Amino acid sequence: MQWQDFIVGVVSTLFAYALFSSGQDEEEIEMDPELYDNVVVNDFTQRGRLFRDYCESCRKQKQHREIGPRVFECTKCKRIRNLNAS
C-alpha cells in the first residue's frame, strides 16, 4: 500500500510541475504582416461547418451547412436558415 501511495504522489507531482512550468519557456513569435495581406479570415466558399438542427421544410432533424456567418443551409432540401434574425 505504501508503494502505491509513493507512485501516485510522484506522478501527481510531475503532472503539477509540467502543468505550471510549461508557459515560462515559450517565446512570442512575431509574424511578418506582409504575409497576411491576401488572407481572408471568414471565407465561406469552401465547405462550411456542419451542425444538426430541425429543418422546418423537411420536418425532421437534419444536417445544416454554414454558408455565411450564422446563415445555414439544409443539406437535403437546400432551405436557408438565418440565425441572425431569430
Q: How high is the mean pLDDT of the chain?
A: 78
Residues 19-24, mean pLDDT to the nearest whole number: 69
Could you tell me the residue ranges of all domains in the chain? 47-86
**Cβ contact 61:52 at 8 Å:** yes
Cell (9 digits) for 68? 455565411
**pTM of the entire predicted model:** 0.45
Confidence category of residue 29, pLDDT binned at 50, 70, 90: low
SS (H, E, C) 18-31: HHHHCCCCCCCCCC
pLDDT for residue 75 is more than 60: yes
Beta strands in the chain (DSSP E): 50-55, 60-68, 71-74, 80-82
Residues 48-65, mean pLDDT to the nearest whole number: 86
Q: Are strands 80-82 and 71-74 parallel, antiparallel or unpaired?
A: antiparallel
CB atoms inside a 10 Å sphere around CB 14: 10
* pLDDT attached to residue 32: 67
